[in-house]
Amino acid sequence: MRSFYKSFRVRALVSAVSAAMSTGLVTSSVQAAEPHSGDVLDEIIVSGTLQRNRAETSLPVNVLSGEALREKAASTLGETLKELVGVNSASFGTGVGMPVIRGQSGNRVQVLQGGVSNIDAAAVSPDHANSVEAALAERIEVVRGPATLLYGNGAIGGVVNVIDNRVPTSMPDALNGLLETRHQSASDQQTSVFKLENGAGQLAWHLDGTYRASNDMRISGYAINPDTVDLTDEEAFAELLASKGFIDNSSTRAQALTGGLSWIFDGGYLGMALNRSETHYGLPTAAHEPHDEEDHAAGEPEEEGPEGGIRIAMQQERLDFEGKTPLGGFFEEANGKLSVVDYQHAEIESNGEVGTVYKNEGSEGRFTFTHRPVGNLMGVTGVQYGSKTFSALGDEAYIATTDIDSIALFTLQSIDVGDMMYEFGIRGEHQNLQQVGNCENSDSSLSGSMSGLWRAREDINVLVSVAHSQRTPTVEELYSNIDAMTCRTQDDEHQLIAHAATQRLEIGNPDADKERSTNFEIGLRRHLGQVTGEVNLFYNSISDYLYMRDMGVEVDEIPIAMLTQQDANFRGLEVEFMLPIAGNDVQRTDLTLFGDYVRARFQGGGNVPQIPAKRIGAEISHAHDHWIYKLRATRVASQTDVALRESGTDGYTLLNASVDYHVTLFAGEATVFGKINNLLDEEIRNHTSLLKDVAPEAGRSVELGLRIEF
């Protein structure tokens, strides 16, 4: 498998460059090309279930698709989405980037693959990567607010739905596809992607693959934050000096291959897809041996294996069945998807021994039925089920094997009355956790939402919504370091097992209550005219908010973190507007202004940990003939509203610049693109990352690439 990906990477690069340089194949029209002005706002929102266009939905939603998605696609999902308002990335080294939506992540952000849960271990711990591949997505939808309850009781923060057409839904007119290769200088990251689609008769097929490899991340300063080091401690000072210039053990390898086949019939389809992915990445450590700087300057890929820190070896096999068919009677259409997943990853310690193997095996299905309009009332009703077995095995396993079963019923209804559109939804879910031993948890949750959209003018909508959501605790929140026979915390604290990756003794609470979230939101959206954009205000009150609290106590120099519940309030603001500066028939210049802010406090006093700092920024883009230029500046404030035993984080200014050149290639298009990230070479430490003081973001880096679409 690996030799296939390596040979593909070389062939794709050589073929693409040869094609672009062949003057007989490339048309360099002297006539002005249509300026690229970005994605329009009337895209259909798939995650909204009712599939309205963006201007008419009452959801606060971001959509990345087309050229915008290809421009932002990165090695992790969080890195891909972090420029969207209200979204940040919680990194754990270069191999992990979890999306943070309105200050919430992990179990409160549902990551979907085509509308169905990913069934990996990403939400279990901040060092676990998502198994989705953003580089192969056709679109990514980020839904915030009340409607997220339709996708599970864990979606209090938001929903990220990655849609990649791995199961074809329609018949292609002809062979179409994509070839792309790109190189990024900060870690010598080389990425190659291909996608092919075609069909014959009533059968449509899809094939895609990706390969990515990178070395240790180079930085301009020290990986370890000097402010956290006692300079009089000789060993700590030596570790600080050894961290200069790069982040040790941050190299990555990833590869994926997907094939899909569908039978297309009048009004519907029935298909399946098989995906296999593998990812190997390192977790940066604060203490490591000095490295030979010549090895890191050479730019040669490093061999896989222990590098003085923990490595994660992850693999997943996923089988998807999907279909849509028209119906007669009250229900006019049925949609269904069933996914069967076999996921595992091993945490490999620096001596080569496997500390813990995480496994998540199971299936999840989601089936929706759209009923015929009854007057102005239209809606969707559905059922969702899941059955999986989660385990953490090995000498360092701190969670016993647990069977997790769930069943849910939900409905979303909408009615138009004059200038108003009202939506209301309800979801009931039952979850049962049965651990090997005597621990069992069975609980039900009920969530509901109401929203209204007022068409104040032809170009302006006002949105108001309220939702009440319940989230039952997850297996790691209940049973981390819990005795499976007594279902209580270990009597002897020396029997506690450390989580090797986070270097903490994490203790769950088998008696934890449900979280109860009440969310209020108001928004203003202008979707037509020269100036477009939106502003959203939200307030989210969460009773019995669950989080791992550092207790300030250590056992054998390993800190203890215990699951704690406190009532918390989240409030925030999101703003984004685009306005034209200049333009004519051959060129266009636009200015985008954006910003977001979230404040989270416990009702009894104190701040919620790892809340992102406020951001403001501007992006200016200019399109002329075949060229697109962009300059984006983001100012991130210092985060001083910190939790107990949490350090503050300095602010920074991030300046990125990019340029694309588009030319016609046969019936398709070739794009040569370049990007400079962190142009000011700032030291960037993200407050949302547990490793912010040992693994900063990359310094100044250059990315170059070539993409051919046909």
Helices within 243-333 (DSSP H only): 293-297
pLDDT at residue 268 greater than cutoff 80: yes
Maximum separation of any 2 CA atoms in the chain, in Å: 79
Query: What pLDDT is recorded for position 292?
Result: 42
pLDDT at residue 114 greater than cutoff 70: yes
Query: What pLDDT is recorded for position 356?
Result: 84
Q: Find the mean pLDDT for residues 578-601.
A: 94
pLDDT at residue 682 greater than cutoff 70: yes
Other CB atoms within 10 A of residue 298 CB: 12
612 — pLDDT class (breaks 50, 70, 90): very high
Q: CA 361 to CA 409: how far, in whole Å?
A: 23
Q: Find the mean pLDDT for residues 613-623.
A: 97
Give me the residue label for tokens 């010598």: 188
The letter for the amino acid at 551 is: M
Q: pLDDT higher for 290 or 174? A: 174
Highest mean pLDDT among 97-106, 315-324, 345-354, 500-509: 315-324
pLDDT at residue 33 greater than cutoff 60: no
The letter for the amino acid at 433 is: L
End-to-end CA distance of the chain: 26
493 — pLDDT class (breaks 50, 70, 90): confident
Q: Find the mean pLDDT for residues 215-231.
A: 90
**In three state form, how does the secondary structure of 6-73 look?**
HHHHHHHHHHHHHHHHCCCCEECCCCCCCCCCCCCCCCECHHHCCCCECCCCCCCEEEEEHHHHHHHC
In tens, the pLDDT along 432-443 reads: 999 888 889 999
DSSP, collapsed to helix, strand or coil, labels residue 2 as helix
57 — pLDDT class (breaks 50, 70, 90): low
Other CB atoms within 10 A of residue 383 CB: 14
| Averaged pLDDT of the chain | 85
User: Which of the residue ranges 302-316, 462-476, 589-603 would you say has the lowest mean pLDDT?
Assistant: 302-316
DSSP, collapsed to helix, strand or coil, labels residue 566 as strand
pLDDT at residue 125 greater than cutoff 80: no
pLDDT at residue 649 greater than cutoff 50: yes
* Strand partners of residue 511: none
Q: Find the mean pLDDT for residues 629-654.
A: 95
Closest residue by Cα to residue 140 from 210, 50, 207, 70: 70
Q: Find the mean pLDDT for residues 336-351.
A: 91
Closest residue by Cα to residue 672 from 257, 187, 32, 70: 70
DSSP, collapsed to helix, strand or coil, labels residue 308 as coil
Q: Find the mean pLDDT for residues 218-228.
A: 90
Other CB atoms within 10 A of residue 344 CB: 18
293 — pLDDT class (breaks 50, 70, 90): very low
User: Which of the residue ranges 34-43, 394-403, 515-524 would you say has the lowest mean pLDDT?
Assistant: 34-43
Q: Find the mean pLDDT for residues 167-191.
A: 94
CB contact at 8 A, 594 and 588:
no
Element (H, E) at 77: helix 77-81
Q: CA 38 to CA 84: how far, in whole Å?
A: 14
Q: CA 3 to CA 646: how far, in whole Å?
A: 45
pLDDT at residue 89 greater than cutoff 50: yes
44 — pLDDT class (breaks 50, 70, 90): low
pLDDT at residue 354 greater than cutoff 90: no
Q: What CATH number matches the domain at 2-709, 2.130.10.10, 3.40.50.880, 3.20.20.30, 2.40.170.20?
A: 2.40.170.20
User: Which of the residue ranges 152-161, 187-196, 325-334 would you say has the lowest mean pLDDT?
Assistant: 152-161
Query: What pLDDT is recorded for position 41?
Result: 42
What percent of the chain stands above pLDDT 70? 87
pLDDT at residue 294 greater than cutoff 80: no
The DSSP code sequence of 384-395 is EEEEEEEEEEST
Lay out the sheet containing 139-143: strands in order across. Answer: 61-65, 139-143, 158-163, 109-113, 116-117
For β-strands 139-143 and 402-417, DSSP reports them as unpaired
DSSP, collapsed to helix, strand or coil, labels residue 252 as strand
pLDDT at residue 12 greater than cutoff 80: no
Q: Find the mean pLDDT for residues 61-79.
A: 86
Query: What pLDDT is recorded for position 147?
Result: 62
Query: What pLDDT is recorded for position 51?
Result: 63
pLDDT at residue 517 greater than cutoff 70: yes
pLDDT at residue 366 greater than cutoff 70: yes
pLDDT at residue 299 greater than cutoff 80: no
In tens, the pLDDT along 15-31 reads: 433 333 333 333 333 33
pLDDT at residue 614 greater than cutoff 80: yes
> Exposed, middle or buried: residue 571 (CB in 10 Å: 0-12, 13-18, 19+)?
middle
Query: What pLDDT is recorded for position 551?
Result: 87
Query: What pLDDT is recorded for position 5?
Result: 39
Q: CA 511 to CA 441: how far, in whole Å?
A: 9
Query: What pLDDT is recorded for position 55?
Result: 61
